Amino acid sequence: MDALVLQYVMNWLVLGCIYALVALGFSLLFGVLNVIHFSHGDVVIVAPFVVLAVLQGLVAAMPAATAGALALALAAAILAVGILGVIADWLVIRRFRRAPAMMALVATVALGTVVRELIRMFYPQGSNPKPFPRLIEAQVALGGVTVPVFSLLAIAVSVAMMGLLFAMMRFTPLGLRIRAVAEDRATARLMAIRPGRIFAATFFVASAVGAIGAILFASYAGAVRFDFGIQLGLIGFSGAVIGGLGSMLGAILGSLLIAGIDVLVQATMAEGASYRLVFAFLLVILVLVLKPSGLLGRPAIEKV
Amino acid sequence: MAAPSPLLETRGLTMRFGGLVAVRGIDLALGSGEVLAVIGPNGAGKSTLFNLVSGLYRPSAGTVHLAGEDITGLPAHRIAARGIARTFQTSRLFGDLTVIDNVIIGMHARTRTGVLDALFRPRRARAELAAAAERAEALLGLVSPDLLARRHTLAGTLPQADRRRLELARALASGPRLIMLDEPSSGMDDRDTDALVEDIAMTMAERPGLSYIIIEHDMRLVAALPGQVVVIDYGEKIAEGPFAEIRRLPRVQEAYLGHKATHA
Amino acid sequence: MAAAAPARAATLADRAIVAAGEAGGALILGLFLLAEDWRLITAVLVLCGAGFALLELRPAIEERIVAAFRRAPATALVLGAAIVLAYPFGMQGNSYALHLLVIALLYAVLALALNFQLGSANIPNFATGASYGIGAYASALLALEFGVSFWLTLPVAAAVATVFGFLLGFPSMRTRDTYLALVTIAFGIVVHQLLNNFDWTGGPNGLVGIPAPSILGHSFARPIVILGQRVPAQANFYYLALALVALAILAARRLHNSRVGLAWNALRGDELAARCQGIDVVWYKMLAFAVDAFLAAFAGSVYAAYVSYISPDNFTFLVSVTIMTMVIVGGMDNSFGVIVGAFLLTLLPEKLRIFSDYRLLFVGVVVILFLVLRPQGLFPQRPRSYGAS
Amino acid sequence: MSGILTRRRLVAAMALGAAVALAPVAVAQDKPKIKLGFIGPLSGGNAPQGLGARNGFLLAIEQANAGGYPYTVEGVVYDDASDPQTGVGAATKLVNDPDVVASIGHWNSSVALATIPVFDRFQMPVIIWGAISPKITEQNLPMVTRVTPTLVTENKPLAAWAVSGLGAKKIAIVADTSDYGTANAAAFGQFFAEAGGTVVSTDLLPVGTTDFRAVLTRIAGAGVDAIYFGGVITEAGLLRKQEGELGLTVPMIGISGFYDPEFIALAGPAAEGTMVSYPAAQSNPRLDKLDADYTARGFAEPSSPYTKYAYEAANILMAVIRDKGIEDKAALAAAIRAISYDGVLGTTTFDDHGQTQIPVEVIIKIVRNGEWVTRE
């Protein structure tokens, strides 16, 4: 393959996979709770900050252990953001379970502002961008070009996470319960499933998966800033919606599509870069006009 | 007693959902002022039939004619405007609006005010709405004086029997030629069902030209209705005739009572 | 017999309640506008919060006030008109307070515009900010490039935005809810990006030197002098925006109390049932988009002429979200509530400047609190009454 | 009746509130008090620029107050959040306050363009400390002056140097789609072509872009001698970092927009060899003293490239106020334009449009061993 094309393809896959990890959270939450958690992007972007904080703390404490420190920091961040998602639900989102969808949307937009501002004000020098370490610096030769191992890692981690998520939903008791609640809340309750716990679990899983996406995002970009979550969230949301909310495969497909058009436009058009958002969101409109429930969403045949 | 050109006629009406055939080749004919009861087990395709006639679904095959005009595949609001009104199995009232609002909305196809009229000719728009309100009150009074008294309460707060009556009133408000009632007695106890039979009988007496198609499970109600009965099973019409004859057919008993044995 | 529930003649008590309500509201608003001390601002906010808590706990009080306003509409109208017309003269020449009023009024128009959609018909639209921008740009470009008078650009800009509104409404034929919400978000982003990227819109630098309108030789850039009383130039735009709000309220009332408003309410409640009542839901949805865009464009034109400068940054996704929040916090399908929502969310961030860094955080928290504590909005929808007037 | 009762309580509460508000803050002082205004982005993505500038502004005032200035000066600081409407609100608030004599403001050109009509209409001198759009002074509003060089003045010598000094024949331009980025891209592109170079591609990316690989890959394929970046710190850092990763080894150049240690921190080792033009006159002992004072003052935020401009703008305002008093705003504005001020920026004078005339003789700063040093 042409070296340039390979670069583009790698770029596309890494971005698509990262967006997909965020989109999966949207889709999962919508499937189970029928709720749009617009602050999802802002919640998950906390993860890279936790990584940095923990790393800093550990390096200060014992300057030697770096690899172990990194692993510890990553685990802490994923866990913390998972819990943060549960807290966001508990504090705000659960209050809008029965309210019209738009209220939850607006409330979570406000929640996003709150999370963002909290990072900005309470993380040291929170307004400034923070350099974020590349998890792996090595490069390998692949098809005539050198490719960062990180890119391969990012794709592998993402695919693994997707696989894990699928397996969890399909084969574990928790997954079965989540699907039962998604299908029919009342019946699930009759089967002694407590929806409240399932909601919490779903928020935890969605946020933790998103946290991995956010860490990869920060690492791929090379930095993190308190407001990076907005665009990450918006693109993840778009990916989930055009894929068809509630469909995990759709979320992945939608994210790959958005990342694809983004890279394609920038790679081929002379002034494409300045129109990258225009094309990405025109694609969103086009998909939804043609497939009103998203690519893999269940068509809305209403029962009468 | 059938009219030369029947009011409603379906020919070979068919609906497929993916691989599933919900309705297969149904022929129906109904004259002005006639009543048709549709019975059959759950999932037989009765509601789908209604949705096809009222334009919520577009048939995969077959035609629907209203008074000789082909209305197959027209959007629901056009069909409503042509004089087919319906109710739903689970009541679909506008719960956050008042009782009288619900009835006036039922008159949508009979009123004319558009945006510009509403903005620039408020007097005319108001007069039309006031007239509609007056007619709505008269209609409510006819269906149930109790409902009339509660016309300014929200429809969502009504008890079950009153909801059913309000749906009937809303359907009547459009001045239809044909009313389709989808299981009007579902979720009602015997006393309410008796009242419902009375309501239907009364409106029939009041509006002699009006035709009805009624989906029903309650055999008592079906027995009390005049006119033909159509039995549907697995999406197909398996029998047609007066109730007294229909109930004796073995195939009907098997298809219908077999499924509904617990209820019967 | 087409009488509505309370048709009694107004009593003296009714008139007193109306007068007290309007004067009290005006006074609190004025106090809030002019306050500089954070203690006073906090006190006013706490007071308002307590007021709403009272209404929440004792619905009878709210009923009584509403009844009074219903029974004494003439008193309410005359007194209300007198208060709002005289208002700039009570601002002690404070141009900042007047500026805030102008912006609040423009947002009130935007919120009323969105209310047709979100409130009446429950159609999500995150692109009101885009329509606002299209109106502003259309008007400004006409004025700058062709020297068209402001008064002429108003209807043209509105027409342009309405066309875009219909275009945006087009996908609503098939998409719904969250999917439709995303379509409008995408539309808003595309419009913002295009305004930023095109050359003829001035790119990111926007359009400079948009002329202020004038009427009978009086330029809107000059102070108003009446009977020796001098009020800052912002008062011109205050009255212009006020007229726009009055127009929007009138349109909202007329549409609400008509077959159109009922049709919107019907498709809000149950789209499928609405179709079976003969309502062409696609048309009514597109109509809602168009009406929203039409009114928003008016606000945009006035904003452009008022500030004399516009740039894409004025019309971001965030602006649309803010308008959306105003409608939901204020109370869907209630014009008064929506206006209160608009004032609250325009003035709050400005007044919270005293909390400097914590400003956005507070606004976010306040919005969430409002939504949680009074989900039906500050002033929820009220049933129609027929034949009363 | 309950309605009236509530109303009475309202009045009582309001009276209470008013009393609290009016409680005098009795401070014995013989010098008359004046206020100076500052507006800038103190929240949002551009906050680092705004906060650094605000500190420069406050530092100037503190030093004046401590140093026998005839007035007691109070700084009034408002956030514009990089949003034109918020900026207009802030500007209106400043012009409405009779104690505020003059102001300095804005990092974003779109915000400055929105507020200068307000300052002009309400007769308040304003000095722009950060916004660089030529449109701001092109309008020649009497109240408006600017202490920052426009993009034109910084890009022209850089472009000439890129061709002659660096020896770049082919260059790729990358910038953001903000006013700053587009204006930089246009100015540099024009000057580079005039100097005899070829602009291979111009890529503008929306603000908030974090991934530049698609564009960089294409540039890598085009074989350029250098990349010009016309944006600010975050994007500059990310771009440089990703450039290194793609094996694109050509130098990156730019104007002083990302001349900041923060850039090196972001780009890491990849920052090595990055070159920016930097106005030479800016390096002087006064500037060194400002840096020392800034550090000594212990602000919570680090200084930004705009700290010195805001510091200088405040000092210019205070200098003319000392001479002309506080009443005649038109005279103040005229005096600002007529000034020849010796300060941290060198000797500032203004042209007939209120644009600073500080000669821009640029020197090139380069990142070596993780630090900005002057390139010999």
- Say yes or no for a CB contact (<8 Å) between A11 and D213: yes
Chain D: closest CA distance from residue C313 (Å): 6
Residues of D in contact with A273 (CB under 8 A): 203-205, 214-215
* Mean pLDDT, residues D1-18: 40
CA A21 to chain centre: 4
D257 to A168, B2, C39, D23, D175: CA distances (angstroms): 49, 88, 41, 46, 11
pLDDT over 50 at B138, yes or no: yes
Q: What is the pLDDT of residue C361?
A: 87
* Mean pLDDT, residues D216-229: 92
* Mean pLDDT, residues D45-55: 87
Decide: residue C372, CB within 10 A, 0-12 exposed, 13-18 middle, 19+ buried: middle
Q: What is the pLDDT of residue D158?
A: 92
Residues of D in contact with C44 (CB under 8 A): 14, 17
pLDDT over 70 at B93, yes or no: yes
Residues C272 and C163 in one domain: yes
Query: Is residue A297 domain-resident?
Result: no
- pLDDT-based confidence at A302, cuts 50/70/90? low
**Tens-place pLDDT, residues A159-195:** 999 999 999 988 998 888 888 888 777 788 888 788 8
* Mean pLDDT, residues A102-110: 88
Residues C51 and C98 in one domain: no
Residues of B in contact with C251 (CB under 8 A): 119
* Mean pLDDT, residues D131-138: 86
Chain C (5-34) residues lying within 8 Å, Cβ to Cβ, of chain B: 5
Query: Is residue A301 domain-resident?
Result: no
**Strand, helix or coil for residue A45:** coil
Q: What does each of the 389 residues of chain C score in pLDDT, given as a tens digit?
A: 333 444 567 788 889 999 999 999 999 999 888 888 888 888 888 888 888 888 888 888 888 888 898 888 889 999 999 999 999 988 888 888 999 999 999 999 999 999 999 989 989 899 999 999 999 999 999 999 999 999 999 999 999 999 999 999 988 888 888 889 999 999 999 999 999 999 999 998 889 889 999 888 888 888 888 877 788 888 999 999 999 999 999 999 999 999 999 999 999 989 999 999 999 999 999 999 999 999 999 999 999 999 989 999 899 988 999 999 999 888 888 899 999 999 999 998 888 776 666 778 888 998 898 888 888 888 888 888 775 43
Residues C260 and C351 in one domain: yes
Residues C34 and C147 in one domain: no
Residues of C in contact with D18 (CB under 8 A): 31, 40
CATH (residue range D33-149+282-348): 3.40.50.2300
Residues C71 and C151 in one domain: no
* Mean pLDDT, residues D263-291: 85
**Strand, helix or coil for residue A151:** helix
Final residue belonging to a domain, choices C39, C63, C90: C90
Query: Is residue A298 domain-resident?
Result: no
Residues C85 and C141 in one domain: no
pLDDT over 80 at B140, yes or no: yes
Q: What is the pLDDT of residue D14?
A: 41
* Mean pLDDT, residues D85-91: 91
- Say yes or no for a CB contact (<8 Å) between D4 and C31: no
Residues C55 and C110 in one domain: no
Chain A: closest CA distance from residue C382 (Å): 18
Q: What is the pLDDT of residue D293?
A: 93
Query: Is residue A245 domain-resident?
Result: yes
* Closest C-alpha among D3, D2, D16 to residue C20: D3
Q: What's chain D's average pLDDT? A: 86
Query: Is residue A178 domain-resident?
Result: yes
Decide: residue B53, CB within 10 A, 0-12 exposed, 13-18 middle, 19+ buried: buried
Chain D: closest CA distance from residue C282 (Å): 35
* Host domain of residue C13: 1-90
Q: What is the pLDDT of residue A64?
A: 64
Residues of D in contact with C205 (CB under 8 A): 109-110, 113, 133, 135, 179, 182-183
Q: Among the ranges A59-68, C67-76, C284-293, D259-268, which has the highest mean pLDDT value?
A: C284-293
Give yes or no on whether D33-149+282-348 and D152-280+362-374 have one common fold. Answer: yes
Helix (H) or strand (E) holding A25: helix A3-33
pLDDT over 60 at B261, yes or no: no
Query: Is residue A303 domain-resident?
Result: no
Final residue belonging to a domain, choices C30, C61, C90: C90
Q: Tell me if chain D has a CB within 8 Å of the CB of C16.
A: yes
Chain C: closest CA distance from residue B224 (Å): 27
Give the one of A111, A118, A277 whose C-beta lies nearest to C368's C-beta: A111
pLDDT over 50 at D12, yes or no: no
Q: Among the ranges A172-176, A213-217, C226-230, D217-221, which has the highest mean pLDDT value?
A: A213-217
- Say yes or no for a CB contact (<8 Å) between D51 and A267: no
- Say yes or no for a CB contact (<8 Å) between C1 and B105: no
Bridge-based pairing state of the strands D252-254 and D275-279? parallel
pLDDT over 70 at A3, yes or no: yes
Q: Which long-range contacts (CB under 8 A, 24 or more apart) does B124-129 make?
A: B125/C254, B125/C258, B125/C259, B126/C257, B126/C258, B126/C389, B128/C259, B129/B104, B129/C257, B129/C258, B129/C259, B129/C386
Chain A: closest CA distance from residue B78 (Å): 19
- Say yes or no for a CB contact (<8 Å) between B89 and A301: no
- Say yes or no for a CB contact (<8 Å) between A117 and C367: no
Query: Which chains form contacts with chain B, at 3 or more CB pairs under 8 Å?
Result: A, C
Q: What is the pLDDT of residue D23?
A: 42
**Tens-place pLDDT, residues B12-28:** 999 998 888 999 999 99
Q: Among C117, C173, C179, C201, which would you mutate to test the A interface (most chain A Cβ atoms within 10 Å of its Cβ)?
A: C179
- Say yes or no for a CB contact (<8 Å) between C278 and B109: yes
Query: Is residue A270 domain-resident?
Result: yes
- Say yes or no for a CB contact (<8 Å) between C324 and A237: no
Residues of A in contact with D246 (CB under 8 A): 7
CB pairs under 8 A between B and C: 125
Q: Tell me if chain D has a CB within 8 Å of the CB of C25.
A: no
Nearest-Cα residue of chain D relative to residue C41: D17
Q: What is the pLDDT of residue C229?
A: 78
- Say yes or no for a CB contact (<8 Å) between D237 and A8: no
pLDDT over 50 at A116, yes or no: yes
Q: Among D92, D132, D137, D232, which would you mutate to test the C interface (most chain C Cβ atoms within 10 Å of its Cβ)?
A: D92
Q: What is the pLDDT of residue D271?
A: 92
Q: What is the pLDDT of residue B3?
A: 47
Q: What is the pLDDT of residue C230?
A: 80
Query: Is residue C75 domain-resident?
Result: yes
Chain C: closest CA distance from residue D69 (Å): 27
Domain with residue A48: its CATH number is: 1.10.3470
Chain A: closest CA distance from residue C125 (Å): 10
Q: What's B189-221 look like in SS3?
A: CHHHHHHHHHHHHHHHHHCCCCEEEEECCCHHH
Query: Which chains form contacts with chain C, at 3 or more CB pairs under 8 Å?
Result: A, B, D
CB pairs under 8 A between A and C: 125
Chain C: closest CA distance from residue A134 (Å): 31
Q: DSSP E strands: which ranges in chain C? A: 214-215, 218-219, 224-226, 229-231
What domains, with CATH codes, occur in chain B? 1-83+177-264 (3.40.50.300), 92-175 (3.40.50.300)
pLDDT over 60 at A94, yes or no: yes
Q: What is the pLDDT of residue C223?
A: 83
Residues C102 and C206 in one domain: yes
Give the one of B81, B134, B154 whose C-beta lies nearest to C2's C-beta: B134
Contact criterion met (CB below 8 Å) for D184 and D161: no
Residues C197 and C179 in one domain: yes
Give the one of A11, A131, A271 whose C-beta lies nearest to D217's C-beta: A11
Of residues A221 and B188, the one with the higher pLDDT is: A221
Chain A (262-301) residues lying within 8 Å, Cβ to Cβ, of chain B: 301
What residues does each domain of chain D span? Answer: 33-149+282-348, 152-280+362-374
pLDDT over 70 at D15, yes or no: no
Query: Is residue C374 domain-resident?
Result: no
Q: Tokens for C186?
A: 């995408």
Q: Tell me if chain D has a CB within 8 Å of the CB of C99.
A: yes
Q: What is the pLDDT of residue B36?
A: 93
Of residues D125 and D221, the one with the higher pLDDT is: D125
Q: What is the pLDDT of residue D250?
A: 92
**Tens-place pLDDT, residues A264-301:** 999 888 788 899 999 999 999 999 999 988 999 876 55
Give the one of A30, A110, A289 whose C-beta lies nearest to C171's C-beta: A289
The predicted complex's ipTM stands at 0.87
User: How many domains does the structure of chain C reveal?
Assistant: 2
Residues of A in contact with D218 (CB under 8 A): 4, 266-267
Of residues A124 and B259, the one with the higher pLDDT is: A124
Start-end of H helices in chain D: 2-22, 47-66, 84-96, 109-121, 135-138, 151-164, 179-194, 213-222, 233-245, 261-267, 285-297, 307-324, 329-338
Give the one of D85, D114, D177 whose C-beta lies nearest to C204's C-beta: D177
User: How many domains does the structure of chain A reveal?
Assistant: 1
Chain C: closest CA distance from residue B80 (Å): 5
Q: Which long-range contacts (CB under 8 A, 24 or more apart) does D139-144 make?
A: D139/C208, D139/C209, D140/D352, D140/D353, D140/D354, D141/D116, D141/D117, D141/D354, D142/D330, D142/D333, D142/D334, D143/D116, D143/D119, D143/D329, D143/D333, D144/D116, D144/D119, D144/D120, D144/D354
**Tens-place pLDDT, residues B177-188:** 999 999 888 877
Give the one of C260, C266, C276 whose C-beta lies nearest to B118's C-beta: C260
pTM of the full structure: 0.90
CATH (residue range D152-280+362-374): 3.40.50.2300
Give the one of B86, B105, B130 whose C-beta lies nearest to C2's C-beta: B130
- Say yes or no for a CB contact (<8 Å) between D265 and A276: no
DSSP state of C121: I
**Tens-place pLDDT, residues B194-221:** 888 888 888 888 888 899 999 988 888 8
Residues of C in contact with A109 (CB under 8 A): 321, 325
Query: Is residue A16 domain-resident?
Result: yes
* Host domain of residue A7: 3-290
